[in-house]
Amino acid sequence: MKALKIPFEASKSPYDPNLVVKIKQGDEDIKAVRTKKISLDTYNKETEEAVVKIEKGNFVTHEEAIMEFRIH
């Protein structure tokens, strides 16, 4: 990679260190009751409900959501 001047870092771990940090933070948040886990069934149900709403045109764009957030 030196010939092409492409930065390259070798890692002994197959995982992205930033991902590992985020996963550990999530585990700590769950233990501290700052968040909660949901079951796969609940996740799938909520996802299916969201898809139905979107297909019916019941959604906002990212820009609209940002504007709504700024108002409140």
> What gap in Å lies between CA 40 and CA 2, rounded to an integer?
46
Q: Does residue 68 carry a pLDDT above 70?
A: yes
| 29 in any annotated domain | no
Which pTM value belongs to this model?
0.45
The pLDDT assigned to 2 comes to: 61
pLDDT in tens, 20-61: 999 999 899 988 988 888 999 999 999 999 999 999 999 999
| 16 in any annotated domain | no
Query: Which residues constitute the domain of residue 44?
Result: 37-72
| 62's tokens | 């990212």
| 12 in any annotated domain | no
What's the domain count of the chain?
1
Between the CA atoms of 56, 64, 37 and 50, what dihedral angle is there, to the nearest 10 degrees? 0
> What gap in Å lies between CA 48 and CA 42, rounded to an integer?
10
